[in-house]
Every structure is written in C-alpha cells, then in structure tokens.
Amino acid sequence: MLEIKNLHARIAEDGTEIIRGLNLTVKAGEVAAIMGPNGSGKSTLSYILSGREDYEVTEGDILYNGESILELDASERAAKGIFLAFQYPVEIPGVATMQFLKVAMNEQRKYRGEDELTTPEFMRRVKEAAAELKIAPEMLRRPLNVGFSGGEKKRAEILQMSLLQPKLCVLDETDSGLDIDALKIVADGVNALRSPDRAVVVITHYQRLLDYIVPDSVHVLYKGQVIKSGDKTLAHELEANGYADIIEAAA
Amino acid sequence: MNMQQAIKMTAAETALVDAYTNQIGDLPGDGSVLSVRDTLVHELRTAGLPTRRVESWHYTDLRTLLRAVPAADPTAFADRVDALVPGSTVFSVRNGQVDLKGNLPEGVTVRSYVDSLLDGSATAGLAVLGFDDAIGRINGGLVRGGLEIAVAAETALEDPLEIQLVQSLGQAHTRFPVTFGANTKATVIERHLSTKDAESFVSSVSDVTLGEGADVIWIILQQQGSADTHLGQMRFDLGKNAKLHLFVINAGGKLVRQEIHGKTSGEGADFKLRGINLLGGESHTDVTFTLGHNVPHTTSTEIIRNVVFDRAKGVFQGKILVAKDAQKTDAKMACNTLLLSDDADLSAKPELEIFADDVQCGHGATVADIDHTQLFYLMARGVPENKARAMLVNAFVAEIVEELEDHEALVEALEEVISAWLDKHA
C-alpha cells in the first residue's frame, strides 16, 4: 500500500535536509510502528506523507497503491485515503467542529464522485462514532479543537479518522500527553479501524502505545533513514536498551 | 492656513457647493437652521475637503479621493427591501425620503427630522464636532431628511428596529437623532444599501443618546454599490450604567468613511465596538473612532477585523481619551487584519491619550496572511485549498459575529451577508 523509496527531503525555507534516503514498505492490513530518538525525522516523515508544503522532496518517491503522490496536494491525498492524526491538533477559532466535520466528509466524497451525506445521516454517523470514543456532545459544539484538553484533542483526531475511514492512517505521537485511560480509548479507536484493506503507521517515541496497538512491524528511524526493521520484539528491545546500541551497530 | 485665500475648488467640492446653492429656498429649516447651513457650506467653500495634511484624514485624503459627486435626482425611485431580520420594525428611507407609514411597537415614537429642521429644534445638533468634521459639515449643510426616534423609559423591544436606507442613485443626506430612555433594551439595525450600479453619494449622521441603564445593540451594515461614496457618522453619549454594543460591518462601497465619536457621561457605562471590514476591488474604506472616557469607572473594548483582497485599502483609526478624573477606566482596543493580496493595504492607527493615573488601557494591531498551519490542517482532512482559505477567512470574522449569540436570527443574517460577500470576492 505504501512504498517509500530512497526518499530525500528538506525544509523548504532553509534547505536543511531531514530525510536522507529513507526506504519503507507497509502492506495493506499491516500496522507499522516507526520509532526513533528526538530529531530523527519522525514527524517530518508524517508531514511529507500528508503533503505539507513546508517540505521539499529532492530525491526518491512515495508510492501509494502503486502511484506516486508527490504531485498531489494535502487535500487530494486526504481524499485518496491518507490520514494524518496530528501530534498537535490545530485550534481553529471561528470554525465550528460539526461544520468542519461535515465539510471534510463531503469534500472527500465529492472528490471520489460520491453523493454528499444528508444531514440526518451525517448526524447519525457523528453521534455513533463520538459515543464510541466517549466524546461528549458539548465538545462537538465548540469551535474546532478550541478549549479542548490534550486528551480531548487526540480523541477528536481519532473521531475524524473513524468518520473519514481512510486507507492509510498515520498517527504522529498520538500517545503524547495522554493519561492511561485516554490512551486506552484512543488505542481502542485505532484497533477498531484495523482491517485487511487498511494500513496504519504509528509514529511514537515510546513503546507504551505499542502495548495497546500491537504492531506487525517496527522500524527504527535515525538521521532520516530506517536503520533497523523487525517485529514487535524490536520495540521491547528498544524499551530495555535504548537506541544507542542500534545506532552504533548501524554506524 | 489662511482661510481668506480662496482655494481652487475641485469638481467634487464644486458639486457639493452647487448642490447647496441649487437648493437654497428649498432646503428645510427655520432661520437658525438656515444660518448654520450657510456657515457650514461657507467653511466647505473656503477650507475645501480635508486633505492628508489634516491629521484625522491623513490616510483618507478626501479631497483627492472624492473625484466627483453625482447630482441629486429628486425623481429617482428606489424599492424597499425585506428586513434583514424577519419581524423587525422597518423605517424605510429611499433616496433620502422618509416613509413614515407603518405600525410602531409600544414605547417607540418617531418624528420626521424635517419637522425639527423647520421648527429649529435641530439647530444645536447641526454643529460640527471640530474643524476637521467634514462629514458633519457636508451633512449639516445638505441634510433634508431623517427621523427622530425615541424609545420610552423601561421599554424592552423584542424585535429589532431597522433603519433601512436604500439608495438607487444621486445624493442623500440624512440624520437620525435617537434617544433611549432609562432601562430600555433594544436592537437597532442601520442598514445602507443600493439597488443600482449607478453612482451615489450618501452622508448619514446618527446621534444616539442612552439614558441610565439602557442596553442597546446597534448594527451599522453598509452594503452600498461598488461605485458609491458613503460618509457615515455615529455620535453617542452613554449615561450611567448604559451599555452600547456597536457593530460596524462594511461590505460595499467605493469610498467609505464611517466615523464613530462617543463619550461616556455616566459611571458604569460600557461600550463595545466590533468592526468587520470586508474590502475588495479598488475600494477605500476608513473606520475612524474616538471615545472619551469622561467619568470614572467606565469600560470599553474595541475589536476590528479587516479582510483585504485585491487592490483595496483599509484604514482604522482609533483614539481613546481618558479624562483626568476618569479613574478606573478599563479600555482595550485591537485591530487585526488579514491581507490577502500583495496589493491590498491597511493602515491602522490606534492611539491612547490618558490623563488619569489609575486606569487599564491597551491596544494592539496585527497584520497577517492566512495561518499556514491551520490551512494545512483543513487540507489534510480533504478540504480543497480554495475552500479551506474561505473557511479560515470566514472564521476570522465569524468570531466577532458570534458575540451576538443570544440573537440567533441576527447572527444568521450577518453570517449570510459575510459568506455571500466572500463567495463573490474570495
């Protein structure tokens, strides 16, 4: 489903190279964890996958279902089924959460040539998904992410994910700032979306989240490259020994 | 400046003076009113329209910007339009002509302003606010219509009063002295519209007095045509514990200056100014505001949001004066702008003049493009760039309208005005 080939990318503004020859393949149905120390390029990778314009790809390619997505903007990638759950969901005062959800769902449907949702159908879906994630209706009446606690923001991200039903889900440090109860709710939400035709990329600094979202593969990112891949035991190894050994072995 | 030396009049100055001369004998007023009119037009003739050398007109050089003034056309016809908010009491003013028909809610009385000109009771109100009060001068010289509205003490009006000024072409000069008695509660919508693309020139002065404990929302919604000149002025005086929540929304016009000049006269008075300027094309729009905190314990906040497209130019001048005795004044002013094209322009000039020593006053101004992180967030959810931008621009001004949340129909109507404008210009 996702194939990243020899990817090189830099910050558009100052030319700093962050991703330096990254290779990664994630199959449909797979949950891949990307781990790595601070500054290894994890978040940058998530932004590049979702089409943030602050980064430039200078070499290599990103294939999604066999097609390069480098020429697509963020909204087109989203409509094709790529979803980024933000590490820091953005507050947008003046945009009502419900209005935003409706526009996002319907714009994606329009792009794919599907009919827009009727209001009752939209309401039904939101109600159901919100209940699953224990999101109070009051929260949905506020402007988008405004005044949400850290945990509420992360749950709102997963709510969006479950409503938009993407094919490739990228979770950027979704565990940061969550207490254990919130972490479980969020992990349940992600696990509910696991399916043979959907891939999930979990970017995380700590192994903790992976106790709840058990990955099929684990990849260690360092200085913009995948320096080691393995199964879930690699995450435990990292938790016990830290990154130093692997970094040294790769050097 | 040597006032004796005659200036060479511009086409617009000539047209304004001619408009007066041609109507002598026809403009309503008793001896005292006519003598004030004479003085005002004489000042206009000798001093001319203000230029950038006059401090309060520095960013709006009226003498240069006002190229021409269309002649008044007494035969012009304009239709009335539906009220902005259903159920409102509408005072229809078409091409400057007041329509006094219709039922009034209990506690509201009206009188034609022409009667006040004829019996001389309007004389004092015709005085200009200062040498730089060009709007007061033009309007005072040429005014020939308007309404005096009085809301009796203890009246709580459920539905808005709409002063609906529809202009099709030519000139109109109107005035609206409005008094709210003690403990009144009311919403007034002062709405300026045009029905044709033809050029028009409009001046309008509202002179508003709030008695003790009065609680008033006043909306100035200016949606004139893209060739029109709009010179508006609002004067207000707030009594003890009075609350005025003034919204100014500019979404039209070619050359617009809306002045707001107010003072707090009673302790506990509270004033809020909320402004939305939607500017596009080649328009020039100026909102100039002065507020005198004249007594202790009064509060004010001013928030202006400007959205500037194309080659439009916006101006916001806000001056808060705190008198020596006005201790415990609390005043905050903010002017935030989204500049959405390289040729768009906005000048903001916030000023504080504080003569008291125990006050809290502040002001701030920001100018920005659309927030890229917000834009990316919306796009990452599948919202196409154009639509995402429109949502963010809308959000920037919608926050202001949301403050009226207790008035659902009004919020809905204003949101409609804003989104219709953005659909056309964004």
Residuewise pLDDT in 10s, chain A (251 residues): 999 999 999 999 999 999 999 999 999 999 999 999 888 999 999 999 999 999 999 999 999 999 999 999 999 999 999 999 999 999 999 899 999 999 999 999 999 999 999 999 999 999 999 998 889 888 999 999 999 988 889 999 999 999 999 999 999 998 887 888 888 888 998 999 999 999 999 999 888 889 999 999 999 999 999 999 999 999 888 888 888 888 888 77
Other C-beta atoms within 10 Å of B3: how many? 9
* CATH number of the domain residue A50 falls in: 3.40.50.300
Distance between CA atoms of residues B326 and B292, nearest Å:
9
pLDDT at residue number B411: 95
Q: What is the 3-state secondary structure (H, E, C) of chain A?
A: CEEEEEEEEEECCCCCEEEEEEEEEECCCCEEEEECCCCCCHHHHHHHHHCCCCEEEEEEEEEECCEECCCCCHHHHHHCCEEEECCCCCCEEEEEHHHHHHHHHHHHHHHCCCCCCCHHHHHHHHHHHHHHCCCCHHHHCCEECCCCCHHHHHHHHHHHHHHHCCCEEEEECCCCCCCHHHHHHHHHHHHHHCCCCCEEEEEECCCHHHHHCCCCEEEEEECCEEEEEECHHHHHHHHHHCCHHHHHHHC
pLDDT at residue number B8: 86
- Nearest by CB to residue A75, choosing from B372, B383, B398, is B383
Residue ending a domain, among B250, B266, B282, is B266
Kindly list the residues of chain B whose beta carbon comes within 8 Å of any beta carbon in chain A.
372-374, 376-385, 387-388, 391-392, 394-399, 402
Flag if A100 and B378 touch (Cβ within 8 Å).
yes
pLDDT, tens digit, 9 for 90 and up, residues A26-42: 999 999 999 998 889 99
Flag if A104 and B382 touch (Cβ within 8 Å).
yes
Q: Coil, helix or strand for B346? A: strand
Distance between CA atoms of residues B56 and B130, nearest Å:
11
pLDDT at residue number A167: 96
Q: Tell whether B60 is covered by a domain.
A: yes
Q: Are B202 and B192 in contact (CB under 8 A)?
A: yes
Does any CB of chain B come closer than 8 Å to the CB of residue A75? Answer: yes
How far is the alpha carbon of B338 from chain A, nearest alpha carbon, in Å?
14
Kindly state the tokens that stand for B132: 């730089």
The count of C-alpha atoms lying within 13 angstroms of the C-alpha of B107, restricted to the half-sphere facing its C-beta, is 18
Kindly state the tokens that stand for B70: 């269309």
Q: Pick from B204, B194, B177: which is nearest to B113 by CA?
A: B177
Q: Pick from B219, B150, B158, B152: which is nearest to B183 by CA?
A: B152
Q: ipTM of this model?
A: 0.95
For chain B, the domain total comes to: 2
Q: Pick from B19, B12, B31, B9: which is nearest to B142 by CA?
A: B19
Q: Tell whether B197 is covered by a domain.
A: yes
Q: Tell whether B352 is covered by a domain.
A: no
Q: Coil, helix or strand for B99? A: strand
Is residue B17 domain-shared with residue B133, that is, in the same domain? yes
Q: Are A132 and A162 in contact (CB under 8 A)?
A: yes
Tell me if the pTM is above 0.95: no
How far is the alpha carbon of B380 from chain A, nearest alpha carbon, in Å?
5
Q: Pick from A112, A8, A102: which is nearest to A56 by CA?
A: A8
pLDDT at residue number B6: 60
Number of helical H runs and strand E runs in chain B? 8, 19
Is residue B218 domain-shared with residue B103, that is, in the same domain? yes
Kindly state the tokens that stand for A62: 């990103």
Residue ending a domain, among B238, B266, B294, is B266
Size of chain A, expressed as the number of residues it contains: 251
- Nearest by CB to residue A93, choosing from B381, B383, B395, is B395
One-letter amino acid at A20 equals: R
Distance between CA atoms of residues A50 and B378, nearest Å:
12
Kindly state the tokens that stand for B399: 């926050």
Give how far Cα B417 sits from Cα of B219, B224, B344, B426, Å.
Answer: 13, 13, 22, 14
For chain A, the domain total comes to: 1
**Closest-approach residue (CA) in chain A for B390:** A95
Q: Tell whether B344 is covered by a domain.
A: no
Q: Coil, helix or strand for B22? A: helix
Residue ending a domain, among B201, B234, B266, is B266
Handedness of CA A212, A213, A214, A218 (dihedral sign): negative
Distance between CA atoms of residues B23 and B26, nearest Å:
5
pLDDT at residue number B1: 46
Domain around A51: 2-250
**Closest-approach residue (CA) in chain A for B371:** A92
Which chain B positions have a beta carbon within 8 Å of A84's beta carbon?
380
Low-confidence residues of chain B: pLDDT under 50: 1-2
Domain around B406: 370-426
Q: Tell whether B300 is covered by a domain.
A: no
- Nearest by CB to residue A92, choosing from B387, B395, B397, is B395
Q: Which residue, chain included where needed, has tokens 């230029």? A: B51
Q: Coil, helix or strand for B211? A: coil
Distance between CA atoms of residues A204 and A32, nearest Å:
11
The pair phi, psi for residue B34, each rounded to 5°, is -65, -35
Q: Coil, helix or strand for B8? A: coil
Is residue B252 domain-shared with residue B105, that is, in the same domain? yes
Q: B274, B276, B377: which to substitute to probe chain A, counting the most A Cβ within 10 Å?
A: B377
Is residue B206 domain-shared with residue B64, that is, in the same domain? yes
**Closest-approach residue (CA) in chain B for A52:** B376
The pair phi, psi for residue B91, each rounded to 5°, is -100, 110
Q: Which helix (H) or strand (E) holds B409?
A: helix B408-425
Which chain A positions have a beta carbon within 8 Å of B394's beta carbon?
94
- Nearest by CB to residue B380, choosing from A84, A92, A103, is A84
